[in-house]
Structure 1
Amino acid sequence: MTPVTTFAGRRVALFGLGGSGLATALALKAGGAEVLAWDDSPESVARAAAKDVTTGDLRGADWSGIAALVLSPGVPLTHPAPHWSVGLAKEAVVEIIGDVELFCRERTHLSPQAPFIAITGTNGKSTTTALIAHILVQAGRDVQMGGNIGTAILSLEPPSEDRVHVIELSSFQIDLTPSLNPSVGLLLNITPDHLDRHGAMESYAAIKERLVAGASLAVVGVDDAPSRAIAERRTGPLVRVRVTASAAGVPFDGLTARDAAVFDAGGAQVADLSGIGSLRGPHNWQNAAFALAAARAVGLSDEAIQAGLRSFPGLPHRMEEVGKRGPVLFVNDSKATNADSTEKALGAFRDIHWILGGKAKDGGIFPLVPLFDRVAHAYLIGAASDAFAATLEGMVPYTRCEILEAAVPAAAENAAASGAPEPVVLLSPACASYDQFPNFEVRGDRFRDLVRGLG
């Protein structure tokens, strides 16, 4: 835990008592703050009270003596409408912050030079975060990984100069962190997302920019227009990252990820990604380039970084290789809940037996049409079956399987009989899971179990 001593002796209101909210309440209490916490869920309030956190409906609180409202990132700050607790805080002229802001203030107080690597982006941030942490751990560094991935930031050990914090941040978390100042800030990419919470693409991009604007070193992907504009506005130390399949020799001041490798500005290869199953495809080459830049920034050699890349196991449900039967590779990409994510998986393989479907997102799979030539057969499950069949018609043969339990054996049998040298059975649904599964993790776990049970 990182006790929050910067609010010692002061009253702090807190709304949102899920995992990170409860961790925040305990960290504030451990640092000497007087905490009054609340949640719209009675179960969450009861769980906090059982941990000796003082609870009470903030609508009845005396806001005149409250120093700050700490808001959980899942609670609306601006759109579609501010939560009622936000209105109370603004009326009382009380600052509204999140748990990452508390960490940043504690770092400034305890150890301003403590290494702090912060990662954001619309896609790829979890893999990049885990990859950086893995490389550093393999090199013998003391690493604390958390934030939007896994562990709440205040549940981690406190910052110090010999400890590296590797923190994934969502736009919701950045929005609540006015003094965000990582030693290394990574912005992977920006595509439309969470616009219901930010109002417009411009607002979403501006929030993402704040992570690198306050960083001592910024590492920015330049393959999309919003990120490229952010890189152009940057006046401090900057490493640009691009993904391209073009030939060498094109001038570029930064790192280039192409052909299963990473190249420096002079065109020299600085990382070899060939044969690393957990880092297939251009999007993962990009992730590796970002990880290399971050690891270099905290003192690792390219040799140590290469060793970490080679041993990276990948993350569950993100192009996870779950098994092989003869020449058939089985890949769990259940985290791909929209077409943009599935595009990365389809681009990484050929001879694909593609399991897809669930609760469809806007746009369906139409954006994936240019990649249909990589698909040998599609297996439809869930509520999106009719809509997806209409898109596939005449371009990709498909089978309506309805449920995953029927799709996996059908795909396995057809892939094995295809005669292709390396066929792939790929679960990359391009859909939310909520029609048949409570979340993408349960869906991916079920796929993994079905593959292991094929015999």
Structure 2
Amino acid sequence: MTTNTATDGLLHKGSGLQVVVGLGQSGLSVARYLAHQGYQVAVTDAQATPRLADQLPAEIDICQFGAIDAELLQQAARIIISPGISLDTEAVAAARQANIPVVSDIQLFCDACTVPIVAITGSNAKSTVTTLVGQMAADAGVNVGVGGNIGVPALTLLDNTDMELAVLELSSFQLETVTNLGAQVATVLNMSPDHLDRHGDMLGYHQAKHRIFQGAKSVVINREDALTRPLVADNLPRISTGIHAPDKGQYGLITDPEGQIYLAHGTERLLSADKLLIKGRHNLLNAQAALALGELAGLPLDSMLDTLQQFTGLAHRCQYVATAADIDYFNDSKGTNIGSTMAAIEGLGAVYAPKDGKLLLILGGQGKGQQFGELTPFINQYVSQVLFIGEDAQQIEQHLRAANISDDVALHQCQTLENAFATIQQVTASSLSQVQAVLLSPACASFDQYSGYADRGDHFSQLVDQLSLPSQAV
């Protein structure tokens, strides 16, 4: 293969060929950024005709599509890998063996960024907390950039030359190739098994997540989850969050004698839970995390509390859809792992339990090597019907049965959401049904049947809307 050389005059950086592996949104942002910086850039992708190829800068003329080009990678001075591509991919592994540096777009961003970074990861709630912190900053008058694993690729944020604060959602895939992020404040919100098909085991997953703490100036930890605590640098400023009453300077929950729950900072009651538009105990933890991150980033408390009371949550994240035939429907399609689904079951289940209500839970899709038996205690407590859909539906049922799911919980194999809705109408028609809410929280990836979790959630919402039509017409 023939490539351009330094004599072409492109390499004022003097760093040799930069090879971008994977041409999704982040890969395209990397290619544009490096080309603009004056590097010589090549791109390779396993797809024969990547959808974004026609958006590459004209000066990038080395493009190898149809397979990740091992020969091209061996010529690289540096490889910038997209998060969707495993480091164990044969061509990438061979390049690493040859001591060719492999980094992500996040590494390029943190090397170039001159403003404080709020860095957020975790198995669940990353997008909710990232969005909420970004909104808190904007409402406080801060010129903030929000991106990373959510919405805008991190490098694109650098186009805003007036940016004062960067708030980044970071996945384990992005973090596994980042060194010394140097965030103003960093957090691992929570840890539960996810992406074990990629990281191999929980240790590999944990190690990838905890790279977020490298070089951090302060940290936020979850008192309920020991795996969120950094293993080193105990002298760093830190704030903790949790479901119990907090110590001085920390965040938590206080319950008054009448049973009203308050967000609290030390002994100070900040806001009653019923003032929040987002519901469930997991969202009270999310609110605390956002307040703690904002405090360490220098945001004013009064302004953050105002933002909290206006925040409606994210689409596909325990999102209320509608009520049909006196049953509430919630779209948690973004719940793609068991930890997220546990939080959704517990958070919503606790809302309906005082009314003697139960949840109907829709599970299934691509299981990613998870052990679904861990859901059983939550299902036994809050759920009366489980409907299985998707590729791993049979395996998920087997896991639940092996974990001693209660005889009081009815299990239904439905394959598709359409079939699930037919079953919903059958089981809820009975006068004995305890179901007061239907929760789509699949604990699985969606790619067996959908283009992504949003597509799955939109389909769920459409089916709910069809249920609602007759009552609306009356």
TM-score by length of 1: 0.84
Separation of aligned partners in 2, 1:84 and 1:315: 38
Partner of 1:293: 292
2:144/2:163 contact within 8 Å kept: no
Q: Counterparts in 2 of 1:296-307, with a 5 A limit?
A: 296-307=295-306
Q: CA deviation at 1:257?
A: 4.3
Aligned residue pair count: 434
Q: Decide which of 15, 20, 24 is 1:14's aligned counterpart.
A: 20
CA offset at residue 148 of structure 1? 0.9
Aligned to 1:396: 409
Report the Cα offset of residue 48 of structure 1. Answer: 5.5
| Range 411-420 or range 128-137, more displaced | 411-420
Which residue in 1 is equivalent to 2:237?
Answer: 237
Query: Structure 1 residues 425, 161: CA separation in 2 closer, same or farther (over 3 Å shift)?
Result: same
Instruction: Give the equivalent residue in structure 2 for 1:272.
Output: 272
Whether the aligned pair in 2 keeps the contact of 1:256 and 1:263 (CA below 8 Å) is yes
Q: Which residues in structure 2 correspond to 1:73-84 (within 5 Å)? A: 73-77=83-87, 81=88, 83-84=90-91
Per-residue Cα deviation, 1:297-337 (whole angstroms, up to 9, x for no partner): 33322221111111112112110111234743210011223
Shift in CA distance, 314/180, structure 1 to aligned 2, threshold 3 Å: same
Aligned to 2:143: 142
| TM-fit CA distance, 1:28 | 0.7
CA contact (8 A) 1:258 1:285 kept: no
Q: Which residue of 2 aligns with 1:193?
A: 194
The secondary structure found in structure 2 opposite 1:284 is helix
Answer whether contact 1:128 1:288 (CA < 8 A) is retained.
yes
* Contact kept in structure 2, 1:48 and 1:55, CA below 8 Å: no
Amino acid of the residue matched to residue 297 of structure 2? V
Alignment-derived partner of residue 69 in structure 1: 79
DSSP-derived class of the 2:207 partner: helix
Residue 382 of structure 1: how far off its partner (Å): 4.1
| Residues 411-450 of structure 1: pairs in structure 2 closer than 5 A | 411=424, 423-450=436-463
Change (3 A) 1:304 1:272: farther
**Contact in 2 for aligned 1:63/1:89 (Cα 8 Å):** no
Taking the aligned partners of 1:310 and 1:6, their CA distance within structure 2 comes to 51
Q: Which shifted more, 193-202 or 336-345?
A: 193-202
Is 1:262–1:270's contact at 8 Å kept on the other side of the alignment?
A: yes
Q: What is the match of residue 40 of structure 2?
A: 34
CA shift in 2, pair 1:410/1:98, >3 Å: same
Q: 1:451 to 1:82 in 2, by over 3 A?
A: closer
- The 3 A distance-change label for structure 1 pair 385 and 357 is farther
CA distance in 1, matches of 2:415, 2:74: 54
Q: Give the equivalent residue in structure 1 for 2:94.
A: 87
Aligned to 2:252: 256
Contact 1:9/1:32, CA 8 A, preserved across alignment: no
Q: Work out whether residues 192 and 338 of structure 2, in 8 Å CA contact, stay in contact via their aligned partners in 1.
A: no
**CA 1:102–1:355: 2 relative to 1, 3 Å:** same
Structure 1 position 180, deviation (Å) = 0.6
C-alpha change, 1:149 and 1:194, in structure 2 (3 Å) is same
Does the 8 Å CA contact 2:253/2:262 hold for their aligned counterparts? Answer: yes
Structure 2 unmatched ranges of 5 or more = 1-9, 256-260, 470-474
The equivalent of 1:115 in structure 2 is 116
* Counterpart position of 2:376: 368
Residues in 2 aligned to 1:165 and 1:6: alpha-carbon distance in whole angstroms: 29
- In the alignment, is the contact (CA less than 8 A) between 2:329 and 2:464 conserved in 1? yes
- In the alignment, the residues of structure 1 paired with residue 178 and residue 306 of structure 2 have an alpha-carbon distance, to the nearest angstrom, of 34
Distance 2:395 2:205 in 1: 33
CA contact (8 A) 2:13 2:38 kept: yes
Decide whether aligned partners of structure 1 residues 316 and 36 sit closer, same or farther in structure 2, where only a CA change above 3 A counts: same
Residue 440 (structure 1) shift: 2.3
Mapped to 1, the partners of 2:384 and 2:74 lie a distance apart of 62
Q: Which has the larger displacement, 66-75 or 168-177? A: 66-75
Residues 334-362 of structure 1, C-alpha deviation per residue, up to 9 Å, x if partnerless? 12233322211111223234242333634
| Structure 1 residue 404: Cα displacement | 1.8
Q: In structure 1, the residue corresponding to 2:313 is in which secondary structure?
A: coil
Give the aligned CA root-mean-square deviation in angstroms: 3.3
Cα distance, 1:257–1:7 mapped onto 2, change above 3 Å: farther
Q: 1:343 to 1:375 in 2, by over 3 A?
A: same
Measure the CA separation in 2 of the matches of 1:121 and 1:445: 25
TM-score between both structures, scaled by the size of structure 2: 0.81
Cα distance, 1:188 vs structure 2: 0.9
Q: Post-superposition shift, 1:398?
A: 4.6
> Paired residue for 1:128?
129
